[in-house]
Amino acid sequence: MEAFVRIAELESFTRAAEAMRTTQAAISLKLKRLEERLQCRLIERTPRHVRLSSQGAAFLDQARKLLEAHERALAVFSAARERVTIGFSDHVAGPELPALIARMNAQDPQLLIEIRIGSSDDLLQSFDRRELDSVVVRFHAGRSDGEVLIEEKLGWFAAPGWQHRSGDPLPIVTMAEPCGVRALAARSLDAAGVTWAEVFVGGGVATVAAAVMAGLGIAALAPRMLPLGAVEVGPRLGLPKLPHLPVLLHTRCKGERSRAALAALSAAFRSAVRS
């Protein structure tokens, strides 16, 4: 039942296997057994797509209710709620965050989840001081630990209709230091010989995006972090191409429940960002 729900929600046998910390073959076998028991096909699978059949769509809500009832029954015997504290980089915690929190809660409604938002550098320091159980951050030079979740594209973005005045330094909107993306953008512009000037410093990605859409200048950001309507101007302005940056999960969680919830989060994050 859980395998079916994970496949339906993540639209991927691979992501479902990651979320349940098992193999794709095991997930396929579990689904096959459920379909044989129900005597109907729940998932339509092609080389490119995984989608619910009409019977699967009708059954999904009931399957979720059965899993919730199962968790409530087990919670009766739980002596205490396990707690997990996770830090998300402000450059990573995009519009997918509510869905990721919901996925962790669905994985284990009795798990107490604490989320903190900050810069990758600050969060990694907190992680090293054991103030956080796990962090999801941009790649940090000099560290070899962590699990790569995705390699994310960055670009130069501006408001629709924004124009650079010839002869003026390129106006850059950034986050305050320390910010790895800010440092990367500055190095790239300097290496390309582009004259630039910082015109706005935001305390978070939301304020940077707001300044971009207000027409103050351009910013180096991942496309998913920007409001609808922002346009990439790098090629038009001849700006240096920015490299893909890894997003990594660093964790020291040992508890079975918190590890299962993080596996669900990782699979959901990969699925949401790549979709």
| DSSP string computed for 25-79 | HHHHHHHHHHHHHHTS--EEE-SS-EEE-HHHHHHHHHHHHHHHHHHHHHHTT-S
pLDDT for 169 equals 93
Q: What is the pLDDT of residue 78?
A: 55
Q: Report the distance separating Cα 201 and Cα 203, nearest Å.
A: 7
- pLDDT digits 0-9 by tens, 119-134: 888 888 899 989 999 9
Rounded to whole angstroms, the Cα distance separating 82 from 193 reads 52
* Residue 234 burial (10 A CB sphere; 0-12, 13-18, 19+): middle
8 A C-beta contact, residue 196 and residue 140: no
Q: Do 2-75 and 83-151+246-274 come out as alike in CATH topology? A: no
Domain 83-151+246-274 part of CATH 3.40.1190.20: no
Place of tokens 């076998």: 29
Report how far residue 164's alpha carbon sits from residue 213's, in angstroms, rounded to the nearest whole number. 14
- Distance, in Å, from the CA atom of 21 to the CA atom of 27, rounded to the nearest integer, reads 10
Kindly report, residue by residue over 56-94, the tens digit of the pLDDT.
Answer: 898 998 898 888 888 777 666 554 567 889 999 888 888
Antiparallel, parallel or unpaired: β 134-138 and 147-152: unpaired
Instruction: Please report the pLDDT score of residue 161 as a whole number.
Output: 87
* Beta-sheet strands, E only, within the chain: 43-45, 50-52, 83-89, 112-118, 134-138, 147-152, 155-158, 170-175, 196-202, 219-221, 231-232, 245-251
pLDDT of residue 67: 85
Phi and psi of 118, rounded to 5°?
Answer: -170, -175
Where along the chain do its domains lie? 2-75, 83-151+246-274, 155-243
Q: State pTM to two decimals.
A: 0.64
How far apart CA 45 and CA 34 sit, in angstroms, is 16
Rounded to an integer, what distance in angstroms lies between the CA atom of residue 127 and that of residue 93? 17
CATH class of the 155-243 domain in this structure: alpha beta
Tell me what pLDDT residue 76 has.
Answer: 61
Which class is domain 2-75? mainly alpha
pLDDT for 156 equals 94
Q: Which stretches in the chain have pLDDT values below 50?
A: 79
Residue carrying the six token digits 């339509």: 44
